[in-house]
Structure 1
């Protein structure tokens, strides 16, 4: 990869397993730095002139993203460091969420942090109002130009923009086998009722095969995939406004609209005629590992599996993920074709310093230049909600589809609900009670009332 450098030294940044070499040359001559055959792209330092000369400065970054993914993060900073002269000091920690507040309390904040949930961002702003720095003008301009209104709102607290999206994901997907659909004459459903009708057709056509396969076992996080099911269906049956009220506890967790949504989910996940393809009965969902529960699709023991775009990492390497491949995914439809809610997640960049180099790096991370640099060093499984991203850099068809959905204003995006709730609820009572809902088969009202009691008791 050739980078026109502002400075005169050549840099080679290798990312293990990616076959990528970034090479910078001041004189404009092609120089692969011995990395012939590696991925190549041009970076024009004219895009970085807005940041000025930042030589001799350092920006510290603190995040939960650790190796090997951290290698890709560091590689994506090379254009910025080479064109501005700034250095980036990166620290990834598995204790990030616990330690960041400790560091703020001690007066030792990082310059930049990657916040994994909007709820965590809000708590930081509320608890440390003098530590979190509002986004600068360049960041605000990028946010308004390159992100949908929904994404900007998730980085905003009390009317002030503090954070911009980093990576993103889409959870409103149903995985399937294109070959099985073609063989059986099945078409992709465009409404929720169409999805249920298709499920019934599968039951009639294949009485020995359960249409859906599912698993919510995930170690200490067992139950989280079931929360995604409920969140997706709340968006479809109750709508985005009710979803927002539910997530922020403006209405009770067991509001009748939420009970109705969980019962709608139960129409699939608690239906012995529909689940659990190749894995057992309804109760088996609670013990089936999430990362393996879709295997029935290529094995031919189920037809449908609801999971996010990042589930692609769990398919066997021999399988082709494509519309005409072994496995692929379609958008989980709304109540009508015009109803297009979209559930997803991601991380957000926020700053704890207004120094010139920190504000410049935050602006870079909110720009298409960074999104494209990150896409170039990532094989698959990473996307951005930045509409300036060059879609051609995304190597996976499901990543391309996810990007299209995230940047399409016709889809109403909402961030994962459990990630916005207090940790004791979203990553505690919600997970536990949804598991109990599956096995031993607790009813919807009891399940949601138990979570409401836990929240009210905080």
Structure 2
């Protein structure tokens, strides 16, 4: 099995000369003279008094809305500002329509960068360096997070929550009884652990991609994880922003490496048919059977919501988690793949600026953290506010990472990230198309 891979320098030069919208620029305070609303230099409190109310549009409702609003109570009480939050499950279309009709909210919480980039390119969003202390903000965030909101060298949004995807979960009692390392240093070491697990008569991995019309999205996460580890954040950025083609040699190689893990005999419980035909929410269940039928599942922090009730009630004792480790010979350091809600400002006045400062600060989110299902993107957030030690461990994994990168399929054009990439992963895993064929077809269908 090929378990090391040297970087390819050939495409690096080509990528450096490519010109396209993406996460270009360094992680320093950007040039305030360019980008959308570039005539605005720096906002000073008092320039535009507010009317006492700030409107916010987001995509989440239900219990998440309740936790969000609870996290605003201290701010509204101390400031006297009323926050009117509106949830919309069709956020992407609604924000586009409202901005086009001249009815933009004061603040929008974008679940994906693509819609934010659209509005920033149209000049509707205020760059964050106009009203926030960019350097102070960047200094408290997980490294690289602000890149997810950077358009042509300027940043237009800041995170108010984070999702961490680069996680390996395991059944703590059974795994510890097997004596396997709970902190593998590299993917190659994790592969060796998987071989030992397999030799013990248990499938190392459980995986499932079923999601009705969205089947395949779990597979895109796998590819993104490998791209980030094997080739590093620079090539990863070039790939997701199409500065290199989707069928570049690096991408095809990553498909092949993933194939060694997922398609190797006995590596995944049930093999490819089980992966394709099982709902993604059921992937962790075999880990918690008695006896366990698999030992490892790779999935984001949200997966705990699908654990059995008996496990959830004793999660710190029943569940272990570690970061999907780096690739030996690839990027030197721990990368984290994830996502998050990006807060963006449409209306510049004292009240909306005050709320943006709070939403994007390490002080926001305590009640949400206590309710569960929320992670702060700030390394300085008070981790004692999380509901359990398992969540604190996930927060520590994210906070100590060398670099964060946004889920690539969420950044790519919808026709790819939510279309041909998903279906291509299914065709590849099923064996009906090779990695090269899938990558060639996705590249050929990339929107102009």
TM-score, shorter chain, exceeding 0.5: yes
**Higher relative CO (CA 8 A, sep ≥ 6), structure 1 or 2?**
2
Aligned to 2:81: 86
Equivalent in 404, 410, 415 of residue 419 of structure 1: 410
1:333–1:298 distance in 2 versus 1, CA, 3 Å? same
Q: Is the 8 A contact 2:205 2:267 kept in 1?
A: yes
Deviation for aligned residue 1:324: 6.0
Counterparts of 1:271 and 1:396 in 2: how far apart (Å)?
Answer: 36
Equivalent in 128, 131, 137 of residue 137 of structure 1: 131
Equivalent in 345, 354, 371 of residue 360 of structure 1: 354
Counterparts of 2:170 and 2:352 in 1: how far apart (Å)?
Answer: 44
**Residue 120 (structure 2) pairs with residue 125 (structure 1):** yes
Q: Is the 8 A contact 1:321 1:397 kept in 2?
A: no
Deviation for aligned residue 1:309: 1.4
RMSD between aligned residues = 2.3
**Residue 225 (structure 2) pairs with residue 200 (structure 1):** no
Aligned to 2:223: 230
Considering only CA atoms, is the larger Rg found in Structure 1 or Structure 2? 1
TM norm structure 2: 0.84
**Residue 376 (structure 2) pairs with residue 384 (structure 1):** yes
Deviation for aligned residue 1:141: 5.5
Aligned to 1:43: none
Number of positions where the alignment pairs a residue of Structure 1 with one of Structure 2: 398
Q: Within 5 Å, which residues of 2 pair with 1:307-318? A: 307-318=299-310
Q: Is the 8 A contact 2:110 2:344 kept in 1?
A: yes
Counterparts of 1:237 and 1:326 in 2: how far apart (Å)?
Answer: 31
Aligned to 1:16: none
TM norm structure 1: 0.82
Q: Is the 8 A contact 2:56 2:85 kept in 1?
A: yes
Counterparts of 1:120 and 1:282 in 2: how far apart (Å)?
Answer: 34
Equivalent in 75, 91, 107 of residue 102 of structure 2: 107
Aligned to 1:269: 262
Q: Is the 8 A contact 2:362 2:376 kept in 1?
A: no
Equivalent in 254, 260, 277 of residue 247 of structure 2: 254
Q: Is the 8 A contact 2:53 2:81 kept in 1?
A: yes
What's the secondary structure of 1:381's corresponding residue? coil
Aligned to 2:164: 170
Counterparts of 1:227 and 1:257 in 2: how far apart (Å)?
Answer: 15
Deviation for aligned residue 1:323: 8.5
**Residue 337 (structure 2) pairs with residue 343 (structure 1):** yes
Aligned to 1:65: 60
Deviation for aligned residue 1:227: 0.5
1:321-374 deviations in Å (ceiling 9; x for gaps): 888622222111112495311111111000101111111111111112223343
Aligned to 1:285: 275
Aligned to 1:221: 214
Gaps of 5+ in 2: 1-44
Equivalent in 299, 317, 320 of residue 325 of structure 1: 317
Aligned to 2:32: none
Q: Is the 8 A contact 1:169 1:402 kept in 2?
A: no
Q: Which has the higher helix share?
A: 2
Counterparts of 2:143 and 2:293 in 1: how far apart (Å)?
Answer: 41
Counterparts of 2:133 and 2:103 in 1: how far apart (Å)?
Answer: 24
Q: Is the 8 A contact 1:60 1:89 kept in 2?
A: yes
Counterparts of 1:55 and 1:132 in 2: how far apart (Å)?
Answer: 18
